[in-house]
Structures are given as C-alpha cells and as structure tokens.
Structure 1
C-alpha cells in the first residue's frame, strides 16, 4: 500500500481545498510535514482516519467544518461541505476515496448531517475509472487497511500512549500477520460441543431425532448449556479484566504507601503477611484435595470399618465349620450324585463309598450348614478390616493439615487487620490506606466471583459432555444417521488438525515477532533491556543488567521506543512470506507518524531515525521543527517531499510545499 495524495476541503483549520502529494520514491521515501503547536499537525493524521473510516479522534468536540466557512453560512444560508479525498495504490491498483459531510443552517445554528457520504473509485489497466458499489466500499477499505490496524500505521505518539497494552492488540496483530483465516475456518467448522449454524451444527441438525425422546432431550440440554457457557465465559472475561484493573490499582496504591516514610515498615510487614496467606491458601487447597480424594476413593471402607469390627466381635465365640469347600453348595453335590459320575471320573452308585462320602459332605454345605456361610463372611470381614486399617492415618493427617492451614490463615488475617488499623493512624496516609482497603475488598469479591464462574464453567462442560455422550448413543436410528455421524467424525478430525496447525503457526509467529521486535529495540535503545511478548501479543520490558531479569517501569521516552520497536517488528513480518497459500498475501504498509519524537531524548531520536526508513516502504512524518532538528542529520537525505503548515490564525492554516 502506497499513499499518493490527500486533499482537505474546509476540514477544521484547513479552509478551502488544500492538498499534500506524498513521495513515492524508494530512495527518498520520506514526506516531511513541519508545523508548530496548534497549526494542524494532528488534524492531518485525523483526516486520514476520517477519510478511511468516518471517525475522527479529536480531543475537542468542535465541528469538522472550518469556522470561517461556518460563519459565512449564517449569512448566505447555503449548504457547505467538509471533504477528504485520498488517492492510494494497493496491489498495483489505484484507488480514490472521497468522504463528504454536508452542513446546513437550521434557525441560526450550523448543523451537520448525521452520516457522511463516501465514494470509492478505482482505475483499471486501460485507464478507465469505475465506481465501487456503495455497499462494498467499507469492506474494500477494510481489505486494504482494517480499521483496528490503523492505530499501528496512523500513529499519534502523544494521543495513543502505550500501543502494546491496548485490548484489541491480539486481533490486530493476528490480522496483520495472517492468522485470521485459520481462526475463521475454525469458527466455520464449529466446536465439537456447539450445535449451531456451523458445518458441525448443520450435520447435527440433519440427524433424525423423530421418536427418540432421550436424544432430543440431550440435544436440548447441550443447546441450553452452550448458551449458558458462552454467557459464563463472557462474564469470566469481564471479571478477569476487572481483576487486572483493580490489581493494577492496588499495586499503584501500594507504591504510594511505600513511598511514604512513616508507613514503609508497616507496609512491608503487610506485604509479607499477604504473601504468607497466599501460600497457606494454596496449602489449604492441596490438603482439602487430599482429604476429599481419600474420602471419595475409600468411601465403602470408611463407612464399613465399624460394621466389620462389630461383626467379627459377634462371631468371635461362634463355632464355625472348617470342613466346607469355598463356593460349593449342596445342590451341586446332588447334581453329581444324580449324574452317577464324579468330576474326577469315579462311578457313583447308591451305597458305594463315593456315594456315602458325598452324602456326608452335604452336611457341611449350604443351604444345610449356616456355619459354613458364617465362616466365609468372617473371612471376608477380616480381609476388608485389614485392608482398611491403613486408611485413617493419611485421612487424619490431611484433616490436621486443613485445621492448621485455616488457623494460620485466620491468624494472618488478624495480623493484617491490625496492620491496617496501624496504617490508618498515620494522618498523611489515611486516605490512601482507605482507598487501598476498598480496592483490596473489591479484588477479593472479584476473585470469589471468578472462582464461582470457573466452577460453573466446569459443571457446564460436564453437562455438555455427558449430554453429548447420551445424544450419540441414542441417535443411531437410520442409515442416513450413520452416514451423517461419519461426516461429523471426519469434520471433527479436520477441526482438530486446523486447531493444532493454528496453534503451531501462532507460536511460531509470536517467536518471530519477539525476535524482530528485540532486534529493532536493540537498535533504537541505548541500554541493557529487552522485550518479551506474551500469548496475547502484549509487550513488556525487562532489565538484563542484574543477576536475574526483572520487569521494570517505563518512562514516556522508553514507552515511545518500545512502541516503535513493536511497530517495526510488525511491519517487517507483514512484508515476509510467512503465510501459507490459503492466507492473505504479504503486504507492505506505510507509516504515518504524528509527533514521533516528542517523548524521546536526542540519542533515542537518532536511533529511531536510522531504523524507521529501513522498515517502512513509505514514511510520512508530521513533526515540530524543534523535534525535526534531532532527526535531521539522519533523515534529511531521505526526504522526497516537504511541506510547512503555515498558521495564519486560530481558524486558518495554509499548507505550503517547501521546494
């Protein structure tokens, strides 16, 4: 993507029609726009955002219409327009975007239409220009530069702050680096437990459930549980965001308290107690898990010990037969006599010795001999009693551990309460301590909410899995069902492959991004630090000149360096052929930077200036003259076009090209 020209008509302080043509020379790729404070530098950047997406992010809520043009309308009563025109090239095609907002007079007030009008044209190879249908325009703009990626390439240093901590960073980075196709494929296929309007959902909907009440009920349970699960997951994400916010607020408030000399020692003691409580709570959970696991795995043994003991005491004085054969009974002996041949092959005739021996044996077998049954029962009870004798010691130890952990947690909470009261006594920190206690109370409530939601989520997953098992067992009603079930199984295998492939690619890209960002960070920063990128593509700084790496706070200047390193890494990867054939094509992006050097010192400005031209295929710098002086030596020979924002008054700035 290359931006060729932007024209502003009555847009804020740019009265009438004024234009900037941008350098497209590969060796002199920089377009420089110089201006003083309030001359309209940020307005230029916002003009791009409004032209592309119809949204501007001005600090003030003033109208987009130039003030002088609005004043003239009150006299002429004629409508006036605000208009932005952008000419760009994308994948060898020239596009023209024109966004217009009409203003009119009502009473004695200038008002704007609620919605702007946008037109988009493209030039064909034969030179003819065609219109893009209105309903396709925003989709086409989003294809060229998606709106959630705009903050990376239309970058306002002073307005956006820490770009790597924004909530949409994950989806934005995935969009730049080409991971969204696989994710869209996963959504299209559907979840194995989600019976909705997806491939899996349509296969499941085609199954014949008529007359199968059990399967229908299981199907409905899955639907209801899935809807509830989505709500729980959404709520859980909200609570996690709240937890992050309150945790950050607690850390900040603790820092304020620690900075006050009178409370340092008390706060250190409290921090230590809080850590000890966390440790004891973890130990408590482990002890409870062991206790419940022992009970669940040995419930019959636990409940039967007393009964086994009483039974053996009752049978201690009983005279029990020891002549019987285990599992033999009188009916089996009678069947052998009636057959006339023993299992050993001996002939049995009435009156012979074998016949007499078998009749004698019947006396000791059930149902005639209760003594034999009692003997078997006694032997079994002794076995079970012996097997369970070692069960109580670990159970008792787990219970003791639970009791000890609870007691320690209670003691620590009492100590923390005492420390809180002591901290309150300090007049200069009373307000901060009260706020901290409120934050900690809120954090505790949120933690409990998260635990409850996680528990509900686990229960819902079990309901879904159990219902699916029931559903699948009862669904096989016809040949057509069997065919659909086969398709469903194939689809699940495809889903598993795509998911695994997505995860592997995401890990690979994250590693490459961290490598590229660190490369550019080391080129821009003059110190011993590096960056790490987590699973959500958020960037953190780490100091490396100590015995172990530690996370550190960031100044505005350091934040700026980190942001530019992050953007440079993204642009670099966007240009690489990391993507498979089914992913989007690699694309080069321009960088449009407003006040890029305002928060950086002279050394960092020099480093950033040397790196940025090597990254971007087009660089548009909107800067103050004093900030440009730091970068001038490194960048002046790469400037292809230069403009100056000549502020004539508070409501009129003239764009002048510097030859």
Structure 2
C-alpha cells in the first residue's frame, strides 16, 4: 500500500504566510509538479517537510531564528525561517508546519511548531516535539511512529536535493542506514517475533526446571543441555562475528579490486607511454635521415640545371676522343710505313720524306700528347656522361615525408602528455603493490571462509548432541503427565523459534533479491550505458554496486552524476517494491545538472516508480519537451508565484 502526501500546511514559514498545498489523490497518475523560478520557495517546501518530520536534526533552533550564508567576500547573515513581514509586527511570532499523509484508509497528520522567544535582547526558537494524529486520534511516541513511517536515517531515499545527488550513492554504507532499510522492509517485526518466541521457550524451560527438582537424572541432562546451549550460543556469536569480518574483508577486496581495475587501465596507459616514447625516437631518427637526404639534394641542386650542357660536353669529348684515336691509328700506320721500303703508292720513300715522318713521330712520342690526352679526355667524358645521367630526386616527396613524421611526433607528444596527466600519481611500485594486496586479501578471505565452515561444522555437531540430550529428556519428561504437557509446549515453542530464524533468513534474502531484480529493471531504463551494465547488486547487506556485462563490479563513487542519480532512482524503486509499502518521493531541482540523455531517460521512468512522485522543478529541470512527454502521467501542476508588492512573499496555486 502506497504512502502519499495529501496536504502541506505552512504558517509563517519562510516566504509563505499561510499556505495550503493539497495534492488530489483521486487519480491513477503518480506525478505532481510544483513549479517555480529559482528563489521563489521550492526548497522551502522540502525543508518544511523535513523539519516537520525530523525537527532539529535537519534545521537547528538557531538556524530557525537567523541562518548564515556564505558569500565570496565574507560571511553574511540573513533572516531565518519565520515569515519576515509578520516578524516585524509580531516579534513573538509562531510558525508551524503540518503534513497530512494517507495510506489506504489510514490518515496521518504530523505537525510541529516553533515560537520566537526573547531572552534579554536575544531571540531564540522554542521548538515543540512533533504531534502524531492517526485517523483523528492523537498518539504518543510521535518520534517512533514517524520513524516507522519514514525512517530518519533513510530520509534521503524519500526527500532529496538533486544538486547533491553525488552524495546519495553511498547512503547505504552505514549500519544505521542498514537498520532503517530493514525497518522499511519489515524485518524487525520478524526479529521481534523471534524474540517473543524465545521468551516463551525460556518460560517453559523454567517451568520444566521447577518440575524436575525430584529427578536427579533429569537434572543432569538439563545441566548438560544448559552447557550445550551456552556453547552453541557462544559458537553462533563467534560465527556471526566471523561472518561480519568476512563481509568487511569482502568489501575491502571490492575496493582494492576497483582500484586495481583503475590502475590496470592506467598501467596500460603507462605501457603505452613507453611504446610511444620508443616510436618517438624512431620517428626522430627517420626525420634526421630525411634531413640528410634533403641536404644532399640541395648540395646537388645545380646538377639538374646543367645536365643538358654536360651532355653536350660529354658528346663533344667523345668526338674528340674518336679524332685522337684516329690520329693514334694513323701514327701506327706511319710507323709501319717507315719500316717498309716503299710507300703505299708503290714508290720508294726518299730520305727527305723519311726524315720528316721520323721527326714528327719523335715529337709526338716525346710529348705523349696522344696517349695522355686520350686518357684524360676519356676520363672526363665518363664523369660528364655519369653526371648527365643523374636522376633528379623527389625533393617534394622528401619534404612531405618529413612533414608526416613531424605531425606524428606532435600527435604522439599530445597523447603522451594526456596519458601522463591521467596517470599522475601512479607508479610501477603501486601497480605491483596493489596486486600483492589483492593476493593477501584473497588469502585472508579464504582463511576466514574456512573459519566460517569450521564453526558451522562445530555448531552442527553440537546441535546433534543437543538433539540427543533433548530426546533423552523427552523420554524422561513423558513418563510424567505434568511434565509431558510442558515438554510438548516447549517443543512447540522451540519449533516456532526455529521457524522464525529460518523466516528471517529467507525473508531477508528474498527482499534483497527483489530489490536487485526491480532495481536492475529500472536501472536498465534510466542508464545511458545499457550495453555496458548488467544490473544493480547489493553487497555486504545493502551497499549499492553496479555489475557490468563483463562481470566487473563498479563502486558508485566512480560513476558520473547522471549515473549516480540513475542508480538512486533504481534503488528507491526496488526498495519500495520489495517493502510492499511504497513511500512518497520528493525531489528538489531533480534534473538541472544532468545531460539531456539522462534527463529524458529518468523522466520516462518516473511513471514506473511505484510511489507518489513530487517534483520541485524549474524550467531548467522540465523544459517544454520533457514536460510534454511527462504530462500524460501528471496528476497536478502547482505553480509558485510572487506576491505583488511584498518582497520575498510567495503563494502556490494549482494550474487549471
């Protein structure tokens, strides 16, 4: 059965002089919107509800009179929670907040008042204890009754500020909060049943002891049973302590594993930095080689321009070489001619011609002109010919290649710089140390697990001995009519006690499974990482964790604000469904800081939350397109308006 807020009555509360806000519950819609600009009084409504329920725990008497705010320049004071305009005419003003809630046919009215009182020249607030009215009848123990409806340690589940959403992912970490969650689930009622049954068992045991005064054998068995019960109770206490140690060690291991996963990712980046540094060195060496190639090209830059001229020179030298070769051949022929007696024409060579030819040959041979010049010209021709065939290098390609290497170096530098920022504070030592810690913690868990198993075996063995003693006692008790009846009554009470123990274990496990199932279902709707997350799980009681598709467990501390809010929504829905008595959910500034995807996902999921949802929103939280999407599920829209002519005065009106 859903618990809903039906009416809020504010008198002289902050900007509201006498304001009644009524929520029409005769509807199948579950969303109410209280809309107003920043500073108009949305948060004042949330504060009023919290103060009405929990009093000084949320707003101190000192703050009621005069609240302090911090500015960038200095600490300043502003008016407290009493309606300012009436304080001026009535210094002893009284403020009050009344909250009407409904669950089925049950109507609850919770009220709290505070009055300004004077002590000398100083005013202080006299705050009353909350009154609790059930179906028109005033009830005592209001604090306990309020706590049974909306546990104070879990108030963040029901009333929260969207600006502080990052704080809520760890609200299930304390023992106090765990007890409050169990209270919502109704587990304490079953625990009380177990205690009551245990008291009945003790009562029958005391009667049996009185009836056994004349039976020595029965007395001895009861002494053994008492010792056995004491030993079993001691072992169970030890077992509970070890189980709590195991859960704590498991939580520590989760935290270490999460850090290890972070470090593993960072370690991969450290390794990548090493690879990039090696690649950088290789790129630098390649640039140096390209620069040498470019310098060589520039040194030979004139060759391509002279190539045509060099080719002509080489061709000319080749012609000259051929001419000299012909001369050389002619000289050889002349030498052969001098050796002969006759000329090639058949006439005899006369002495005059012979002497002339001999002198010319002698001159040529002494100068070595033909041989030396031929060798020099041929060598020069070969060099010039090689130069004329010089292949022009692709200098543009070399420059582009160098530019590419330089771009790669700059890109690598940026990646290395980014990785260094991300891995700041992480060392190789910590990387090695974290895996050592994991090994130690896993070993400690295994040892603790063995302790648990050993204690369970010891308890099982002791219980067998206990059952045997009980059997022997039953035989003795059944021999007497009076003790026979007491024995049967005692056995029945013991059976109920055992059943209560089993019921607690079953119900607790069933509630956790229901929370996980329903929270995972809703989480899948609101998260923007549906392909990464498998669902929500509870560890070591009710500590929230997110399970990834790959099996890794994520601590909410590492999530973004949007993902944290998605997780909180999912958990609240799961808790409400598991409890079977859904509480109202009021959110102040619920979506203003979220990205568009999370805004849309959460807005779409609100109709599926099995609770009354009240949104204290601005146009930033609910822009037109989101309001339009939500409108089919909105029961009412209340608008906060400023009072004309009155500074800091507001009224709330229902939008028609």
State the SS of the aligned residue for 1:628. Answer: coil
Are residues 61 and 502 of structure 1, via their aligned partners in 2, closer, same or farther at CA, if it must alter by over 3 Å?
same
Per-residue CA deviation, residues 391-435 of structure 1 (Å, 9 max, x unaligned), is xxxxxxxxxxxxxxxxxxxxxxxxxxxxxxxxxxxxxxxxxxxxx
Q: In the alignment, which of 623, 627, 630 is matched to residue 632 of structure 1?
A: 627
Give the aligned partner of residue 269 of structure 1: 432
Residue 597 of structure 1 contacts residue 627 of structure 1 at CA under 8 Å; is this kept in 2?
yes
Deviation at 1:35, TM superposition (A): 4.1
Match runs of 1:493-642 below 5 Å: 493-527=495-529, 528=531, 529-534=533-538, 536-544=541-549, 548-552=550-554, 553-573=558-578, 586-616=580-610, 618-629=612-623, 631-637=626-632, 638=634, 640-642=636-638
Structure 1: runs of 5 or more not aligned: 123-129, 191-197, 286-446, 575-585
Q: Do residues 643 (structure 1) and 635 (structure 2) align?
A: no
State the SS of the aligned residue for 2:590. Answer: coil
Give the aligned partner of residue 160 of structure 2: 155
State the SS of the aligned residue for 1:62. Answer: helix
Residue 73 of structure 1 contacts residue 110 of structure 1 at CA under 8 Å; is this kept in 2?
no
State the SS of the aligned residue for 2:52. Answer: helix
Residue 590 of structure 1 contacts residue 616 of structure 1 at CA under 8 Å; is this kept in 2?
no
TM-score, length basis structure 1: 0.57
Distance in 2 between the 1:80 and 1:228 partners? 59
Are residues 619 and 30 of structure 1, via their aligned partners in 2, closer, same or farther at CA, if it must alter by over 3 Å?
same
Deviation at 1:609, TM superposition (A): 0.9
Give the aligned partner of residue 2 of structure 1: 4
Deviation at 1:84, TM superposition (A): 0.6
Distance in 2 between the 1:142 and 1:277 partners? 42
Per-residue CA deviation, residues 439-493 of structure 1 (Å, 9 max, x unaligned), is xxxxxxxx9xx99999999999999997998798689576544433332222233
Give the aligned partner of residue 193 of structure 2: 185
Deviation at 1:507, TM superposition (A): 4.1
Distance in 2 between the 1:249 and 1:142 partners? 32
State the SS of the aligned residue for 2:64. Answer: coil
State the SS of the aligned residue for 1:43. Answer: helix
Per-residue CA deviation, residues 552-581 of structure 1 (Å, 9 max, x unaligned), is 34222101111112222334455xxxxxxx
Match runs of 1:173-572 below 5 Å: 173-190=181-198, 198-208=199-209, 210=213, 260=423, 263-275=426-438, 480-527=482-529, 528=531, 529-534=533-538, 536-544=541-549, 548-552=550-554, 553-572=558-577
Are residues 109 and 261 of structure 1, via their aligned partners in 2, closer, same or farther at CA, if it must alter by over 3 Å?
closer
State the SS of the aligned residue for 1:627. Answer: coil
Residue 5 of structure 1 contacts residue 86 of structure 1 at CA under 8 Å; is this kept in 2?
yes
State the SS of the aligned residue for 1:625. Answer: coil
Deviation at 1:540, TM superposition (A): 1.9
Are residues 496 and 51 of structure 1, via their aligned partners in 2, closer, same or farther at CA, if it must alter by over 3 Å?
same
Report the count of equivalent residues: 465
Residue 112 of structure 2 contacts residue 131 of structure 2 at CA under 8 Å; is this kept in 1?
yes
- Greater shift after overlay, 268-277 or 80-89? 268-277
Distance in 1 between the 2:643 and 2:170 partners? 30
Deviation at 1:237, TM superposition (A): 8.0
State the SS of the aligned residue for 2:622. Answer: helix
State the SS of the aligned residue for 2:620. Answer: helix
Distance in 1 between the 2:172 and 2:102 partners? 31
Are residues 488 and 507 of structure 1, via their aligned partners in 2, closer, same or farther at CA, if it must alter by over 3 Å?
same
Residue 8 of structure 2 contacts residue 100 of structure 2 at CA under 8 Å; is this kept in 1?
yes
Distance in 1 between the 2:118 and 2:457 partners? 60
Distance in 1 between the 2:645 and 2:428 partners? 57
Distance in 2 between the 1:107 and 1:70 partners? 22
Residue 643 of structure 1 contacts residue 656 of structure 1 at CA under 8 Å; is this kept in 2?
yes
Deviation at 1:109, TM superposition (A): 2.0
Distance in 1 between the 2:82 and 2:60 partners? 21
TM-score, length basis structure 2: 0.58
Structure 2: runs of 5 or more not aligned: 67-78, 268-421
Distance in 1 between the 2:492 and 2:10 partners? 56
Q: In the alignment, which of 126, 135, 138 is matched to residue 132 of structure 1?
A: 138
Distance in 2 between the 1:89 and 1:111 partners? 34
Distance in 2 between the 1:280 and 1:509 partners? 31
Residue 204 of structure 2 contacts residue 486 of structure 2 at CA under 8 Å; is this kept in 1?
yes
Per-residue CA deviation, residues 105-154 of structure 1 (Å, 9 max, x unaligned), is 112222233642425263xxxxxxx432435x455545554555544333
- Greater shift after overlay, 249-258 or 602-611? 249-258
Residue 172 of structure 2 contacts residue 544 of structure 2 at CA under 8 Å; is this kept in 1?
yes
Deviation at 1:83, TM superposition (A): 0.9
Distance in 2 between the 1:511 and 1:605 partners? 28
Residue 35 of structure 1 contacts residue 646 of structure 1 at CA under 8 Å; is this kept in 2?
no
Residue 148 of structure 2 contacts residue 184 of structure 2 at CA under 8 Å; is this kept in 1?
no
Deviation at 1:263, TM superposition (A): 4.8
